[in-house]
Amino acid sequence: MTTFVSLPRKRLLPITPRAPGQDPAARLAPLSIEERRCNRCGSCLKLACPAISDGGGEALVIDEATCTGCGLCVPLCRARAIGPALRLLD
């Protein structure tokens, strides 16, 4: 006899809330890797995102021009090194 177990469904929430009526294909703010926190474990590289690469330095890097800001890499980083790209104002 086969028994089936019902698993609870997880609700996926967007990383950044969007305004009602906003184009869902609109780019979000790019992400970056904080160099002092990155321990080069490579968990984010397993996502195979074209924006994340190993530049050979002290930390992995995210190309801000390629990053769409989807946030899929954020929960993969145990060191919590991935976050919004911060820019200095002139």
Read off the CATH number of the domain in which 37 is found. Answer: 3.30.70.20
Structural tokens at position 72: 């899929």
Residue 88 lies in a domain: no
Q: What is the mean pLDDT of residues 35-52?
A: 94
Residue 72 lies in a domain: yes
Supply the mean pLDDT for the chain. Answer: 79
**What is the model's pLDDT at position 29?**
83
Six-digit token pair at 42? 């490579």
Residue 50 placed within a domain:
yes
Structure tokens at 74: 């954020």
* Helices and strands (H and E) in the chain: how many: 0, 4
Q: Residue 34's domain spans which residues?
A: 28-82
| Residue 56 counted as domain residue | yes
Query: For residue 17, is pLDDT > 50?
Result: no
Alpha carbons 87 and 90: distance in angstroms, whole number = 9
pLDDT tops 60 at residue 49: yes
The pLDDT value given to residue 43 = 95
